[in-house]
Each structure stands twice: as C-alpha cells, then as structure tokens.
Structure 1
C-alpha cells in the first residue's frame, strides 16, 4: 500500500520532468490540440453571432413597413366573432398583456400603450329625435395626449359620472361629419342587454403630431371612429357589474432588444410563448399580432444550419490538425521508446508506462483547454471580419461572445483527441527492450492506412460524389441542405472535394516509394554519392518521411483547392455584380417604368437591402419621386456629368420594349438598347468579359459605325431566325407615344450584354441617335457613369438628383457587398482562412520537429558515414537533398491533387441566384498567386531547416556520435 502511494505521489514529478525533457515536442502537441479546440469552439460562437445579426436584419427589414421597434409586442382582442367583455375581464388580461415583466418577459421596456373601446354606438342629437349623426366608439388610448396636436378646443376633463362626457374627435371625422367644439350629442348602445346612454361634449379636435412615430402601433386613422376619453372617464362609463361593454382591446410594448444575444433567443421564445398562453387563458380570443417570434424561429433554424454546415466544412481542416498531433506524438514516443522499453524490462507494468503518457496528455489537454477558449473567440471574431479568403477588415457588427456551452465544446474536443494521441504510446508501452531491438532490426512495414487500403476506401465516395454532381449537379443533405444551388448552404458540395484531396494525396503516397526507387536507380549511374544515398535512404525507409510528406501534401492540396475556389467565387461574384449593375452608377428619370434594372426580368434591390441613402430630398423613401414626374424631361449635355467629382466617363443608354419583325414571321417581343457607341466601351470596361462575344466591345461598337441603322442582335435569336450579317429586320417602337416600324441592319451578334440575358427576351443593341431621328426626337434615356476608385456614391447620387435623375440602387458595389456579407459565405471563407493559417502553422511546426528528430535519430549513422570518409560538405549535401526531396515531393503532390480537385469540383460550386443564374458563365480560376505564396513559405521553411542541419553537422563530433548504444 505504501509502495503504491509512493508511486502515485511520484507520478506528477516524473510526468513534469518528462515534459521538460522534450519541451519542444510537448509544445508542438499542445499547439495542435489548442488549434483544434479553438476551431471547434469558434464555429458555434460565430454561428450564434451571425444568427443574431440575421435576426436584427430580419426584424429591421420588417420594421421598414411600420415605425415599430424590432422587438415590439402587440396583443389584441376583438374581432367579428369575439364577444364583448367586462371591464373586470379586461383588467385580468391587462395584468399580463399591459405589464410584460409580470408575464415573465423581463426585458427593458417603457410603459405599455393600452387601448380599449366599446362597440359602435349611435351618435345622435341630445333629444334623441331624428337620424343618427354617425356611429362611433368610446375608448381610451394611454399617453395619447403627448402624441397629438389639438387643432381646436382642449383636452377632455375627467368624467365624474354626472353631467356631460368630454370626448376628443379626430380631425378627419370632425370634417366629414361637421362636428364642432362644444357640440353636444347623445350616444346610445344599439344592442340588447346592458346599455350605454350618455350625453357627450366635443371638447377638442385632434390630429397626430407625428404619424410615423413609434407610439402609433396602429395607424392614427384606426382611431377616426373612436371618441377618445381619459382612462378614468372610460372606467366610469364601462365599469358596471355584469355589463360587457368592452369590444376592442390592444396592448403594445416597445421592448428594448439591444441586450438580447443569440444565446438568449430560445429562452425568450419560450417566455413569449408562455406569456401568450397565460394571457389567452385569462382572455380567450386574445391574439399576439406583432412579435419577434417568427424572426426568432428563423434565427434558431439559421443558427442550426450554419453550425452544422460550418462544422462539416471544418472536418478536413480538423483532420489535418489531428494528423499533425498524431505525428508529433509518434515522434515523441519514438524519442522515448527506448526509455519506455527499459522501464518495462526493469519491472514497470504496461499500465504504469501508459499512465505516464496519459498524465502528459492530460496536462497538455488541460493547457489546451485554457488556451483554446480565448483562441476560439479570437477566431470567431476573425471569421466575422472576413471579407474574402485571407482578407480581413474590422466591421461594425456586434462582436461574438463565448457561449455557455463553449467550455463543454472544448472539453469534448480534448476527450475526442485523447485516444488518437494515446495510440502511439499504447503501442510502445507493450514493448520490452528485447522486442524493441528486434522491431528496429526488422524492415519497416507500410503505414496502417496503406495496409487497410484507406486511400481506396476514401476514393470511392469521392468519385461517387463527383459522379452525382456531374449527373445531377447537386448532393443533398436532408435537414441541412437549404439550397441545392448554394454551396454555402450545402456542406456535401465541399466534403466531396475534401475527400478527393485526402484520397488523391494518399494514393499518391502509395506510389511515392516506387518513384523514389526508380530515381535512386537512375541516380546510381550519376557521379557523386550524396544524391543517390539520399534517394536510397528515402526509398528504403518510407516510414521515416511519410508523415512530413503527407502533411505538406495535404496542406498544399487543401490550400490550392480552397484558394482557387475562393478566387473563383470572388471573381464570379464581382462579374455577376457588374453584369447586373453594368456601370458603376446608372441614373434614370424617377418616373421611368422601364429601366435597365428591370427590363430583362431582373429586379432593382429594395431600400432595405442597402444602407445607401439615395433620397436626396426630392425622392421618397422608395427611391421614386414623391410627386408624379413631369413629362418635360431635362436633357443635360453629357459633358456636365463629367464635371461631377469622381466621374471618369459617361454615356447614354435608352432601354425600351420593342417588337422584333423578321420578314413575314409574327412579331416577337424583345428589348432594344439605344447606345452611344463612342462612349459606351469606356464606361463598361469593368463589366465586360472577353467571352461575352466573339469580338471585343470596342470592335462591336466600331461595327455600329458602319451604318446609322446598324444593330447587334442576341446570338440565340439570330440563330433561331436565321439572321446573318447584312440581313435587315424591323423594330416596332413606341418611345414617344406613337408606334413606328424602324428598320435595322445586322452587323454582328453577341451572347451576353450587361443587364440583358440571352435566356430571356431577345435583345438588340443599336445607335441611340438613329432611334431618336427615326422616332422624331429625343425620349428619356439613362446616364451610365464610370467612377474613379474611392469615389463617393452619395455625392454622385446628389449630383444626379440636381439633374432631375435618380440613382438606380442596383450598383455593382452594392450588389457585391450584399453578396460578400452573406453569413454563410463569410463563415465559409473565414473558416477556410483560419483553417489555412492553422494548417500552415502545424505543417511548419511538424516539419521542423521531423527534421530535428530525424537528425538526432540518425546521429550514429551520420557519425559512421563521417568516419568512413565522407566530408561535412558531402553530409550536408546528403541531408539537403533529403529535405529538398521531402518538401519537393510533398509540394508537387499537393499541388497536383489540389489543381485536379479544383478542375473537377469547382465548376459545381456556382452560386445560382437571380432570374438567370447561369449568366454570366462560371469560369474556374486557379489561384496561382497564393500557390506561389505557399511555395515561398515552403521554400523558406526548407531554407531554415537546411541552415539548422548544416549548423548541427558542423557541431557534430565523430567520437560523440560513434559510440556504443543508441542515439537519443
């Protein structure tokens, strides 16, 4: 017992000393575990933060239609089938509906706005004779006196129960029914049972002080048929035992949701549901007509989908980091193997030896847990600031916060990593010194994944996924895949290429020893010993370099694929934004029903989708004119637009609907763009792509100069109707109120033109001046502007308003920002960015550790080679060749697999949105710039290890290297 207690007490000291003896490797294992914890923690943290951002955006977008705050709550009672209630029933419901903290919704809020009204009463003359003047309700609206203007008269006095009941009448009702201040009327119930009958005096006439104020949870016109009285007066009138006078009620609470975070959403939903159930129990028929419930439910689903999606996206990155941790652990165990074998031979049990390894891993895991939590928050913040792949910028958004479950996520990651890190130690703990020596004398077996044919097994689902994508264009995940055409919401679209990366790399590793043997055989005929010795050593001992080569290859393959995917998606987003938006700015007449933003079936983005204020004082909140536009258009010389600060080019484009008439065939509905051929090409320089037509845009504009009636026709329509160069056709145009047939001559075709779509209506591009002349004068056109980098859109919009034009909201810049700020896209690119940085770090650490430990393990061998006559320079060359071959093979294999995967899978990752999702065409881009950057990092790593090796060789002494026993 005492012996076991002594051993137990000695364990921590032994573990600590063992860690200090290989501190560098211990720190490497700790860094891998910390990175894994950080990446696992950051995913739900970012998903929660972005989900809250989506929640606020959804609530704010809905609030544009009314002035209520995003978290407004409105309960209402009273419909056609709802019976009247007593004042006591109202008070019972009011205890909760009018005081939400009592109902369990304990968020900051001003006092509720409370409303109650009677049924419609007959309003007649005091003597009761003659027809009624009108029908009206009597009601109260709490706090109304602070939000109205008294047009005439004064606020009503409280009713004492005797005499006249003072009431307020809306200005609309007073004008319609000729009601004057101090007029006296008699109000009477029209139904059976308890009756209301009271003389009323018009004390004042009111109008809303600000009809758009958040106080008005119902439009002020709602109260036009209500005689408003103070609450005390209403109570005096309706608080009659057994009388049911109250017909309409409503409670409005402007909850302050600024303190709500995503982690509070589920609790808030539950409390709102419970409060609603309690209110409905007290007042059956009460309805929650306005609340954040729907948005909260969408938020919950959004967070769930985003978390699962990003978690699946993170799997390949976590596999690389996990493989790094296992490799470093194997290096650590290899360094301690002889020590462990000696312990086993001298009486230590297998479990005692394994306990030492377990103690080390648990200590490192605890340190990784402590460091991984703040790292996870930092990575989540970095993802939230992601603009694109490896591009970050601080954004004005709510910062992410660690979740209550984050510590448990970190702990689960460490517990899952423990078996992987302990496997090498478990295998080594069973060896004695004899079995250890015997195993080292035997030839190295292939790695476990080769013996289990894991590479072939991974290749099967990767090839199957590619076949599914090639045949059907999608891979779906029930309950997770939200949009089959959106790779940011479909994780299997990226898991399939990730499997291909791993499978391709492993398959390449299977054939690498054969390639090395062939190179060694070829090098045997060349002079010199360094290269052939290095090749023979690598070809005979694949286990010594397999880990580093695989790590480098996986990192480069993933980097090549992810960076190429990001570049392709970024470039396509930019090209799609410029295709929809055409020029940097488009100015149109406010009353134009047809614009370049909607003529082809597209839509102009809504005001809620952009923060750009384009009202300018003369336009309404919708961007359209506040008044009916005049038909007297102001045509400003184009030179005037060039004087606007930031404008570098201006051109005229007139979109219009027209019927295309070819020969004797029936007319076909189409689109005509009248353009200014001399200035259009310069303005559309950023929006034009060489594959949009068989010729450059400048050449096409030159073709329009051949004849005044020259025209470019959409390629598909020309093919369908058999139109060729030189053929003539007609357009039935009606831009000036009179239909005219105008002839055109085909001078060229084009498949794509910004804002127009070959899959939709056929289009024709012609000379604008010819259209003017043929129709008898100018008609409204748009002004398209190109801007200098950094130009201010607000000032350009203001200048356009000065010329009587409004700015079309669908600018390329706005469209691109909307696309780039999507949480799914931001999360994916952010995760891939931090994953790329993490895998690069672990690859560097792993390769350095491999280099140094490989040198130490081969110290005896190097000493023998030095003793038999090899010079320090030859040994340096030998090791330099080895390191170069390891890094070079890993880099070449990774690059080849990454490019192959990119060519196979990126074509299926197009985001298909809009009316015509396949326009413009999706073009795969290989990110050679970042591939070269990674090669530069690999080259720097290789140079650093070469310098370290040369320094170690110069310090090596033969009599220390060549000795009895083993190298450390």
Structure 2
C-alpha cells in the first residue's frame, strides 16, 4: 500500500508530464484499435453495395445458400430417417452462422411418375412436391389451399396457373400418379401466384413447377413418404440470409458452409450433393481485400506510430530526468534496480489500462472521421460507415499498450541503476561532444530508403499486379521507405546543424545583438535538448507534405482517368429512325424459294440504309446543360496513304468549337494547348488529326493526304494537319495482345457526313455543377427525348471517392497528420514550458541585471526561430524532396493499361497552406504561452531559488 501511495504522489507532483504521457498512450491505443474497426466497417459497406449490384444485374437474391441431396444413390438407407438427420444438420449449420434470415424453405420431391387423367396415360411425367410454409408466400387465384390430410384417399394439391394449360385440366380433376401397386390419386384444388415479386423464397419461378403437384409438407412426410420411403428422391434446403447484415467476420463462416455440408452429409450416405452459393466468389474476394486494406492502413500509419513512439520515449525521458535525484536517493537507500523499475511499471501500467479501456471508443470516432474524408484534410457530409467496436479492436489495443509500455520503460531502466554518486558524476562529466559514429545511423537510414527506391523502380513490372476491374493494391513499402528517408535525412541535418550555427556565430560575433548573441550560445551549446522537438517538427511537416502530395496525386490521377475515359460529363446514345429493318432482313433471302422472291430479296439487299437524324437542339436546352456537342465514333475504319493500309483505326467526327467547350481534356498532354489543334480542324474542313501510331504505320506527316472508308460508306480524302498522342476517350496503350497499336483519326463531323454518309452519333454534355443529376434526368424524361443509353461520369467519381482504397488513403493520411500535429503541439508546449521553468533563475538574473522584458522576449523568439523555425524549414525541404522521389512510385500500384492520362505528381498549394497554417498556429500559440510565463517571473523568486 505504501508503494501505491508513493506512486500516486509522484503522479500528482508531475501531473502535467503524467497527463502528457497518458495522452500519448491514449492516442496510440486509439489509432491502433481503429484499424480493424475501420477495415470491418468499410468492407461491410462495400460488400453490401456489391451484393446490391449483383441483385440488380443477375436478378438473384445475393444472400441465398442452398444444397440439394439425392437419396436414390444409396439403397441401404432409411430415406425418411436420413431426411430428418439432414434437416437437423441444415438447422444447425444455419444457426451457427448467427446471421439473420430473410426466409428459408425446404423443398421435398418424389422421383418422376407417370400421370393418368381420366384413364388416359399422359406422356408427360410429374413429381409430387412439398414447399415448407408456402401458404405465407402465395396468393390463391382459384380454389383453395389443400388439406393436410388425405380426403377420401386423394391427395389435395396446389398447382401454378400455367399447369392448367399445360396439362389441359381444371381445378377439381382427379389424376392417378404412378403405376402398378404404387398408385396415388391427386386432385388440384387451387392455383396460386406469387404474393411478392422480389420474395427470396422463390428461388425458382412458380412456373417451374407447372408439371408438378404441391401438397402440404406434413402430408408429404407423415403420409406419402412414411408409407413408401422409395418415393423420396431429393430434398433441397434453401436459406436466404439477410445480406445487408453481412460483416467481415461472417464471411469465413459463410464460405465454410459448402465444406461442412459435403463433409457432414457424406458421412450419412452415398449421395450426390449440389451446393448453390451464387455470391461465393464475391465473398472470397473480400477476404483478400480485407487483408490488403488492413496492410495498407498499417503502412499508412507507420510514420504516425513512429512519432508516437518517439513522443512516448521523450515524455518518459523528461519524467525520468526530473526524477533522477529521487531515483538516485532510492538506489542509495537500498532499493534495488528491480524495485525501482517495478514502481515505475505500475505507474505506467495504470495509465496503460485506462488507455486500453477508453482508446477503442476514441478509435471509433477516428473511424467516423475516416469515412467523412474526400481528400487530404477535406471533409464532406457523407453517410456514416456501419462501424462498431469488435473484440479484434481490443486485441490490437492491448498489443499497442504493451508496445508503448516497453518504449516508455527504456529510459526508466537506463536510469534505475544510478546512485547519488553516479548521478552527480554523470552531471559533472556530461559534455556536448559530437560522436561521429552517430552519422552511421542517419546515413544508413538514408541508404536503405534510396536502395528501396531504386529497387522499386527496377521492379515496376512485377509490382504492377493490379488487374483491370479490381481494387488498387497499395504496397506498404511506399509509405515505409519515405518515413525512413524523412527520419534519416532529418537526423542527418540535426547532426550538422550545430556546426552551421557555430560558423554563423563566428562570422557575425562582433555584430550580433545581445539577444541574438545569447541565443546563439544557448542553442549551439544545448543542441541535444532540442533534438527531440526538432525531429518532431521535421517528421510532422515532412510526412504531412508527403501525405498531401500522395493523396492529391492519387485522387487526381484516378479522377482524371475516369474523366478522360468518358470524354465529357455525360454521353448520350440517341435512338435514330432508319430503314435498317428492310435493308438488313436476311430472313427474306434465306426463305426465298421462287424467282419472284429472289428478285424482291435482291432489291431489298441492295437498298441503302437511310437514317433520320433526330433534333439536336432539345439537348442543348436541357436543364443543367451548359454545352452539348455531337460526336461520331466509327471503329474500325480503313485508312490508306502512300501505299500502306490500316484496317482497325478508330475515327472521331467532331464539331471543333462545341467539342472544345464540352469535352474534358488535360491541356498538358499535348505539346501545345489542345484548343490550337481544334483551331486547325476549324480552319480546314478536310483537315484531320492523327495519332502517332497512324503516322508511324502509314509513314505520313503534316501536310500529307490519306483516304478513309468503312463498310457501307463512300471514300473520302483528308489532309493531315496535326499529330497527337492523346485525345478524349482515346487510349494509346493497348489492352489486348491482338490490338498492339491503337490508332485514331479526328475529323470534322460535317465534312464526314457530307462525303461519307449520315450515321448515328453520340451526344456529349457538359453539365452545370450547381444542378443535380436528378433534375437533369427528370428533364430528359419530361421532354421525352429518345435516349437509349447514358454514361454519366458523376456516379463513377462518387464510387471512386467511396471506395475502400481512397477512403483508406484520404482518411488515414488526414487522421495521421492531425494526430501528428496534436502530439507535436503537446510535445512543443510541454518541452518549452519545462524549459522556461527550468531557466527561472537564469531569466531572473537577466532581469536583475537590467535586461528589459522585450529583450528577454526577443531572446525567446530568436531561440524559437533557430530551433522550431529551422525544424519547420527542414521539414518543408525534406517533405518536398521525399515527395519528388517517392510519390511517382505510386503508379506501380496501378494497372499500366489504365494509366491514361500519364501519371503525374501533383502539389496543390491549398494542401501546403493547410500544413503551414497548422504549423503557424502551433508556433504562435506556443510562443504566446511562453511569453505569458516569462512575464510572470519575479526577481525575488529567482533570487530565492538561487539561494535554495
């Protein structure tokens, strides 16, 4: 108990340091525990979204799991007994998933039987079925529900409405099923239809049972099969899980269902088992995506975790430094090293336990922050992620606590072996000698980072492992190496910084003011005191700049790929009227038998297809449309020049002025602004722009002529006015082995239509960002415009922004920077407050000597500039260098066939200003607090302190 009192007394006496240490532990646990929480939440959201898409595209319920068992393969079993065992097994498996169910159904079926209607043998066979709880999912359209018992030796049944037509019977007819002694009489007493169209109960349409008779489940099991086991042929068990409740932790148990069914049923009998799980591949892919996302989050948080480790080490070192005398006294009075370490361990363990309890809840708030990001330090009002604290979060938090305690205990362990004599001797002998061997640490870190940089550049093809259509995988090395580089280069600059200060001091020794002279002496002689703080600032700003550049580069490049591929905000395919049905009616030719028919066929086949162009003006006047243009696309076309021919070229017919105002294009992709190329087309109707591949394949250049034609068109001659590498929607990088050289020709649309014929074109729209898409879509409906297909870039951009990849990148980098700024600000204030308090005597003496308060403030400002200010400058320089070196490596994580436009490193001044504002705010607030503390120093207090 005495030890506990001593520990709490120590914590109260050093409450600010204790609170700072606790904050470091709390932030560490919160950050680490948020990783599994966020991963689970974002994957659940994306999984449910993908399952919704599957439901729409495939018209199947995505949560369905079913398996069928055939009983006819094993003659030695009691089929009814085995059926009961399989039913129990199904209930057990479904219950073990612990997932809510939308519905479930058991379908029992006899083997196919012959049917007699009014003593006439029908060729069609039938089965007797039972569907559990069918009465809850149907509407009786004629007749009634069948009885649960035989009525005068007849089995009453339900049939779909279609069955009456197929079997040419009416409700109430009695049919004889089976042959010989195994004959049964069945009477359909009612017909039905589905109660709800989207009911997952109906894995098959009711019409699929039009050849069968459905009796009650109780009658099927307790009467029909009980008296004749051999009639039972199959049982099918269908469970429709509520897919909206799927979580990452449920995926593995769902994927194990098939294996468990096969293993358990196979032990009961020899049979054929058919398992149907339509979304199994989707769920399997999410296991891999979950691991990739978790790895990416760890890699993104590496710099922050390093900073937290340094912070905890620094605070622990400050605590130990302030208590060195106390530790020495305890050691001198007989306390051994273990007792001293245990006492500090208990103190830190108490703080760690509190952090462990509270941390995951703060981590939950971190996850909400991650889900609201739209870019680096950009937030939007977005629906919250479905997140909750999982047991895995506490496991991660516990590991973080242990790791943090070890980091904190290192300075304690080092200081715990010093007696009063050792402590006094170490203070007396302490000198600020530079140790050259410490440069090996810095240069080694820089060398490792540079080696990794060159290695990644050489392995570019190996790292481009993302296949088209898959989520992007981010290699953790892309964040680990920059962190090492920033630390290494930062430490290196901090090693040589004192020498630079001494040189500057010597150069102006005779000219410096008293404030600056004193500051030079203080900083140059006490560089070790500032190293932790300066390293904090260097890492915070350096990592912040790298994070901002990385996030902005990834976001912009992915957005530009979508915009470039789509060409404009919206592409419309419009319905055109034509005589194509007459001209292309091959059925007439195939069925022609007489000479007259042949003559008619020849006349139809030779008739030219004529299109009727729909009005274009209504599209330009749509609500929310700023500009519209017509774009004719033809692929393939035949191009000839200088005796060479290309057969698979794509042609774009455009109206230069409207196209320039409507299409999206990055002007830096071409040697000149792309408007200059459009002006070339506008000046000459027969002018064309050709891709570099056309120029090299045909051997043509500016001023040469070429001819173009395609099936069903006339031939036209064009003159080359420009050679381009990129154009809206044109991908110069081949995505197939057959098409190794994509090629493009851009021509004037009116010229193409006049000489080569009028054919359907697309309409591209540039929309007003202030108008919602819903308003635009409603306008299209109200005007009854004949739109066949629509490609909108906005849903693609929203899908991109809400993807697990970008949410993880933007959210984690933003959160990491905010946490870095937070702990740096805390460390900054803590360090300088303790520094000012430790110099109370020094500042008091200065005041007693006649130093005015403004000169003391000047000394403090200069000290801030030479330490914190220079650290910020170092951070800016190092962050810029790191971004230039390492951000281009992110293109290695993308499919090279989709990197159009080419990958470009982006520095947004707005991002940089956010970082500068954060840093400026920290320095101004910190300096203000220090000045207030300085003004409170009284001369008599300093003199009394000196006497003590």
TM-score, length-normalised on structure 1? 0.85
- Out of 43, 68, 74, the position equivalent to 1:76 is 68
Hey, what does 1:750 align to over in structure 2?
724
CA distance in 2, matches of 1:79, 1:716: 64
Hey, what does 1:246 align to over in structure 2?
232
Hey, what does 1:551 align to over in structure 2?
536
Is 1:540 the counterpart of 2:525? The answer is yes
Residue 416 of structure 1 aligns to a residue whose secondary structure is: helix
Is 1:667 the counterpart of 2:646? The answer is yes
Hey, what does 2:624 align to over in structure 1?
646
Change in CA separation of 1:954 and 1:794 when aligned onto 2, cut-off 3 Å: closer
CA distance in 2, matches of 1:574, 1:723: 34
The alpha-carbon deviation at position 54 of structure 1 amounts to: 3.5
Residue 114 of structure 2 aligns to a residue whose secondary structure is: strand
CA distance in 1, matches of 2:756, 2:611: 16
The alpha-carbon deviation at position 528 of structure 1 amounts to: 1.9
CA distance in 2, matches of 1:694, 1:866: 66
The alpha-carbon deviation at position 60 of structure 1 amounts to: 3.0
Is 1:575 the counterpart of 2:560? The answer is yes
- Out of 402, 425, 429, the position equivalent to 2:389 is 402
Is 1:730 the counterpart of 2:720? The answer is no
The alpha-carbon deviation at position 641 of structure 1 amounts to: 2.0
Which 10-residue stretch deviates more, 536-545 or 895-904?
536-545
Is 1:490 the counterpart of 2:470? The answer is no
The alpha-carbon deviation at position 27 of structure 1 amounts to: 1.4
Which 10-residue stretch deviates more, 319-328 or 72-81?
72-81
The alpha-carbon deviation at position 200 of structure 1 amounts to: 4.8
The alpha-carbon deviation at position 125 of structure 1 amounts to: 5.6
Hey, what does 1:781 align to over in structure 2?
761
Which 10-residue stretch deviates more, 100-109 or 790-799?
100-109
Hey, what does 2:602 align to over in structure 1?
none
Hey, what does 2:150 align to over in structure 1?
160
Residue 910 of structure 1 aligns to a residue whose secondary structure is: helix
Residue 887 of structure 1 aligns to a residue whose secondary structure is: helix
Which 10-residue stretch deviates more, 431-440 or 821-830?
431-440
Cα contact 2:686–2:747 (8 A) shared by 1? yes
The alpha-carbon deviation at position 255 of structure 1 amounts to: 3.0
Change in CA separation of 1:145 and 1:346 when aligned onto 2, cut-off 3 Å: closer
Hey, what does 1:951 align to over in structure 2?
932
Is 1:141 the counterpart of 2:131? The answer is yes
Cα contact 1:86–1:245 (8 A) shared by 2? no
Which 10-residue stretch deviates more, 856-865 or 876-885?
856-865
Q: 1:696-735, aligned counterparts within 5 Å? A: 696-734=673-711
Structure 2 residues not aligned, in runs of 5+: 578-608, 735-741
Q: 1:54-73, aligned counterparts within 5 Å? A: 54-65=46-57, 69-73=61-65
The alpha-carbon deviation at position 104 of structure 1 amounts to: 4.2
The alpha-carbon deviation at position 904 of structure 1 amounts to: 0.8
Change in CA separation of 1:28 and 1:100 when aligned onto 2, cut-off 3 Å: same
Residue 898 of structure 2 aligns to a residue whose secondary structure is: coil
CA-to-partner distance for each residue in 1:439-491, whole Å, 9 max, x for gaps?
Answer: 233343569996383323322321221011221227869xx999999764321
Hey, what does 2:634 align to over in structure 1?
656
Change in CA separation of 1:927 and 1:454 when aligned onto 2, cut-off 3 Å: farther
TM-score, length-normalised on structure 2? 0.87
Residue 210 of structure 2 aligns to a residue whose secondary structure is: helix
- Out of 442, 461, 465, the position equivalent to 2:448 is 461
Is 1:224 the counterpart of 2:210? The answer is yes
Cα contact 1:481–1:490 (8 A) shared by 2? no
- Out of 546, 553, 560, the position equivalent to 2:545 is 560
Residue 128 of structure 2 aligns to a residue whose secondary structure is: strand
Is 1:287 the counterpart of 2:279? The answer is no
Report how many aligned residue pairs link the two structures.
Answer: 908
Which 10-residue stretch deviates more, 239-248 or 369-378?
239-248
- Higher relative helix content: 2
Cα contact 1:96–1:103 (8 A) shared by 2? no
CA distance in 1, matches of 2:461, 2:509: 51
CA distance in 1, matches of 2:99, 2:216: 28
CA distance in 1, matches of 2:513, 2:160: 105
Change in CA separation of 1:82 and 1:462 when aligned onto 2, cut-off 3 Å: farther
The alpha-carbon deviation at position 246 of structure 1 amounts to: 2.1
Cα contact 2:841–2:945 (8 A) shared by 1? no
- Out of 395, 400, 425, the position equivalent to 2:412 is 425
Change in CA separation of 1:703 and 1:338 when aligned onto 2, cut-off 3 Å: same
Residue 73 of structure 1 aligns to a residue whose secondary structure is: strand
Cα contact 1:653–1:783 (8 A) shared by 2? yes
Hey, what does 1:824 align to over in structure 2?
805
Cα contact 2:138–2:193 (8 A) shared by 1? yes
Which 10-residue stretch deviates more, 494-503 or 208-217?
208-217
Change in CA separation of 1:363 and 1:139 when aligned onto 2, cut-off 3 Å: closer
Is 1:314 the counterpart of 2:301? The answer is yes
Residue 510 of structure 1 aligns to a residue whose secondary structure is: helix
CA distance in 1, matches of 2:947, 2:47: 64
Hey, what does 2:714 align to over in structure 1?
740
Hey, what does 2:912 align to over in structure 1?
931
Cα contact 2:630–2:761 (8 A) shared by 1? yes
Hey, what does 1:800 align to over in structure 2?
780
CA distance in 2, matches of 1:396, 1:634: 47
Is 1:896 the counterpart of 2:877? The answer is yes
Cα contact 1:97–1:103 (8 A) shared by 2? no
CA-to-partner distance for each residue in 1:735-780, whole Å, 9 max, x for gaps?
Answer: xxx232222111122211121112242111111111221134x321
Q: 1:7-26, aligned counterparts within 5 Å? A: 9-26=1-18
CA distance in 2, matches of 1:202, 1:425: 87
Q: 1:831-910, aligned counterparts within 5 Å? A: 831-866=812-847, 870-910=851-891
Hey, what does 2:593 align to over in structure 1?
none
CA-to-partner distance for each residue in 1:827-872, whole Å, 9 max, x for gaps?
Answer: 2321221111111011111111221222233333444455556444
Cα contact 2:829–2:926 (8 A) shared by 1? yes
Change in CA separation of 1:936 and 1:518 when aligned onto 2, cut-off 3 Å: farther
Please tell me the root mean square deviation across aligned C-alpha atoms, in Å. Answer: 3.6
Hey, what does 2:178 align to over in structure 1?
188
Q: 1:331-730, aligned counterparts within 5 Å? A: 331-345=318-332, 348-445=335-432, 451=438, 453-473=440-460, 488-589=473-574, 635-657=613-635, 658-684=637-663, 687-730=664-707
- Out of 290, 295, 311, the position equivalent to 1:324 is 311
Cα contact 2:551–2:813 (8 A) shared by 1? no
CA distance in 1, matches of 2:687, 2:468: 44
Residue 705 of structure 1 aligns to a residue whose secondary structure is: helix
CA distance in 2, matches of 1:895, 1:843: 16
Cα contact 1:330–1:424 (8 A) shared by 2? yes
CA distance in 2, matches of 1:206, 1:304: 48
Structure 1 residues not aligned, in runs of 5+: 1-8, 593-630
The alpha-carbon deviation at position 311 of structure 1 amounts to: 2.0
Residue 514 of structure 1 aligns to a residue whose secondary structure is: helix
Hey, what does 1:628 align to over in structure 2?
none
The alpha-carbon deviation at position 890 of structure 1 amounts to: 0.7
